């Protein structure tokens, strides 16, 4: 499975340094203050480029300071030059920086108590700087060195195979143009080069409090039994299915906690997965309410069982609830436990018990499966998910708990990584059919699934972009976009009435694209659409099927004056129709 989360569409301020290389040591700037400014020069009079997050790391261009050119007005220290946002370079005041130096060789003698501890745990010296900085701030955290027994250069090469790892970047050094890009090279998604893979795959680049949670052990922690419910509530508090059951005196945070303990899986992780599957709206009310006629008391919180054939003939509700009934998911606890069992057995119990390992499968106990059976193609997915988890734990005041982190260690980590061999001389990317249900592939891609339709696609999106985003979850060559007549198309703008065929391991499903407001099917919202909506309301024009769905911009089930007004305002630029 190759999940992409919507949050990764919002790019983090991660550095992409120009060279991934071996040296005596690597120096990184650890940011001490939220909102520290990056400027064009070493003085506060220089233009502000961006601001940085507390606890984040940025590679230093050189391990040296630059004199303040504004006579220390606004900055009491000299400045450091860092890489940020790709290969961009800027200066940050030394007041906001703590330099962390990580040695890249394994022959450094530990001197401090923490370094000795980390060395005894099996971490090479290049890990000590980041881990000891975290240990100082969070003494209850436990770090486990996961000895992959894999050579670092070999691991990077395997993860750089065409189609296995993608990245949103404009940095040519982080693209592998020898590959046949599944998304098309005009898309923002690019095949990741070996340098890009090396950056995101290198645990040493993510040893900060915000990004360490990609290594969090996803088994259940009895130390957090009393704390999990609070974090779950923070994740689910805006979801309609959570509020619905809370009104019925069913606290899902307690149920998830209990189920997580039963299946030995982190319940915060399970709750986040449920939110992804059901969404925050009432669209899948029938699956979580337990009141649908003929299926009273049955629930499907994970959207399992919705195959192409079943959904086409019977609809999502019937298929999902029939699956629940066939598997005896009667009652809230049994339903949530049933779905959790599937997730746990598919990945966590197979050794992929961290978010990092679900992207980079380097589990040493299953060498025959290494580098396959991976949950994501997006290189930034583990760090993105880690940031969300960190936020949940931080707002729950749980950061001082005894979290356990399994952090991979490779052999030969002082090797120089370059792009000379590419990811594979232009061969066809791996297909890797997803285990996910079709509707889950859609929602995991950041779009919306509704009764044979796919929604949530922005106006003016390119066909190659939509195809690429969906294939980052479904796998390369598993998504095709067709015109309204069923002819395969690869370029142009998406429009209402076009079709998307998605294939997973159990079959395929063809969905019709809905662009809200585009009732004419030309991919734009203009006077023609306004006229069609107006005539439909007056009864002099017919809109049906996908085009009627496009006309219901307010999503209230009918096309009326409100929809007409929204289309008009969208054309005038005073309102933007929600896709």
User: Which candidate, 315, 314, 312, 285, places its Cα nearest to that of 301?
Assistant: 285
Residue 255, Cβ density class (10 Å: 0-12 exposed, 13-18 middle, ≥19 buried) = buried
Output the CA angle 393-398-402, nearest 5 degrees: 115
Q: Domain ranges for the chain, please list them.
A: 25-103, 112-217+354-430, 226-344, 438-513, 527-572
Structure tokens of 369?
Answer: 């499966």
pLDDT the model gives residue 14: 36
CA separation for the pair 138, 403 (Å, rounded): 10
CATH of span 25-103 = 2.30.30.40
Distance from C-alpha of 215 to C-alpha of 210, rounded to nearest angstrom: 11
* Distance (Å, whole) CA 364 – CA 84: 33
In whole angstroms, give the CA distance from residue 473 to residue 376. Answer: 7
Q: What is the pTM of this model?
A: 0.57
Predicted local confidence at residue 190, as pLDDT: 83
pLDDT for res 18: 37
pLDDT mean values, one per 10 residues, the chain (579 residues): 34 36 61 89 93 78 90 91 77 91 66 92 87 91 94 89 80 80 70 86 87 93 88 89 96 95 92 79 92 95 70 80 92 94 83 91 73 77 80 87 93 72 42 75 81 87 78 77 88 91 88 96 94 95 95 92 94 88
pLDDT at 126: 81
Measured between alpha carbons, how far is 347 from 31 in angstroms, rounded to an integer? 34
Residues in a beta bridge with 25: 103
CB atoms within 10 A of CB 327: 18
d(CA 523, CA 153): 46
Among 270, 288, 272, 269, CA closest to 235:
272
Write out the H or E segment, with its range, that includes residue 318: helix 316-326
Distance CA 55, CA 446 (A): 28
Backbone angles phi, psi at 444, to 5 degrees: -70, -25
Beta-bridge partners for 273 = none
**With left for phi above 0 and alpha for psi between -120 and 50, is residue 386 left, alpha or beta?**
alpha
Pairing of strands 57-59, 25-31: antiparallel
């Amino acid at each position: 499975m190759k999940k992409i989360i919507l949050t990764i569409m919002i790019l983090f301020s991660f550095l992409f340094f120009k060279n991934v290389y071996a040296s005596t040591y690597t120096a990184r700037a650890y940011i001490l203050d939220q909102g520290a400014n990056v400027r064009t020069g070493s003085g506060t009079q220089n233009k502000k480029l961006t601001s940085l997050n507390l606890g984040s790391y940025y590679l230093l261009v050189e391990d040296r300071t630059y004199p303040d050119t504004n006579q220390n007005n606004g900055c009491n220290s000299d400045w450091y030059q860092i890489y940020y946002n790709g290969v961009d370079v800027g200066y940050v005041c030394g007041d906001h920086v703590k330099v962390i130096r990580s040695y890249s060789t394994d022959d450094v003698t530990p001197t401090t108590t923490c370094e000795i501890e980390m060395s005894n745990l099996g971490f090479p010296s290049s890990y000590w700087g980041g881990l000891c900085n975290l240990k100082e701030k969070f003494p209850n955290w436990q770090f486990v060195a996961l000895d992959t027994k894999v050579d670092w250069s070999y691991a990077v090469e395997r993860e750089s195979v065409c189609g296995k790892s993608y990245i949103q970047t404009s940095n040519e050094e982080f693209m592998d143009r020898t590959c046949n890009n599944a998304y098309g090279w005009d898309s923002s998604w690019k095949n990741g080069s070996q340098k890009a893979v090396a950056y995101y795959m290198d645990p040493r680049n993510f040893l900060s409090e915000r990004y360490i949670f990609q290594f969090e052990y996803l088994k259940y922690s009895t130390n957090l039994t009393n704390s999990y419910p609070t974090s779950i509530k923070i994740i689910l508090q805006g979801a309609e299915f959570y509020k619905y059951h809370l009104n019925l005196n069913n606290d899902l945070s307690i149920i998830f906690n209990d189920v997580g303990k039963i299946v030995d899986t982190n319940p915060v992780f399970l709750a986040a997965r449920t939110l992804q599957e059901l969404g925050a709206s009432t669209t899948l009310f029938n699956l979580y309410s337990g009141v649908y006629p003929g299926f009273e008391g049955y629930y499907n919180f994970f959207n399992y069982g919705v195959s192409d054939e079943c959904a086409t003939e019977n609809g999502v509700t019937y298929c999902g609830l029939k699956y629940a009934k066939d598997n005896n998911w009667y009652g809230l606890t049994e339903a949530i436990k049933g779905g959790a069992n599937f997730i746990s057995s598919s990945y966590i119990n197979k050794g992929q018990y961290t978010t990092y390992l679900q992207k980079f499968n380097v589990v040493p106990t299953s060498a025959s499966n290494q580098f396959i059976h991976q949950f994501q193609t997006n290189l930034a997915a583990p760090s993105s998910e880690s940031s969300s988890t960190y936020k949940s734990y931080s707002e729950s005041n749980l950061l001082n708990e005894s979290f356990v982190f399994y952090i991979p260690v490779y052999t030969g980590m002082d090797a120089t990584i370059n792009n000379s061999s590419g990811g594979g001389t232009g061969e066809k990317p791996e297909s890797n059919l997803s285990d996910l249900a079709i509707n889950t592939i859609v929602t995991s891609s950041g779009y919306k699934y509704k009764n044979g339709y796919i929604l949530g696609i922005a106006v003016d999106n390119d066909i190659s972009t939509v195809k690429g985003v969906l294939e980052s979850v479904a796998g390369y060559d598993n998504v095709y976009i067709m015109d309204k007549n069923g002819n395969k198309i690869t370029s142009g703008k998406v429009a209402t009435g076009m079709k998307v065929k998605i294939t997973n391991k159990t079959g395929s499903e063809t969905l019709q694209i809905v662009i809200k407001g585009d009732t004419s099917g030309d991919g734009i919202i203009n006077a023609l659409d306004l006229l069609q909506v107006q005539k439909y309301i007056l009864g002099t024009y017919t809109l049906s099927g996908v085009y009627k769905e496009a006309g219901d911009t307010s999503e209230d089930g009918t096309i009326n004056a409100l929809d007409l007004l929204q289309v008009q305002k969208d054309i005038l630029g005073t309102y933007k129709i929600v896709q």
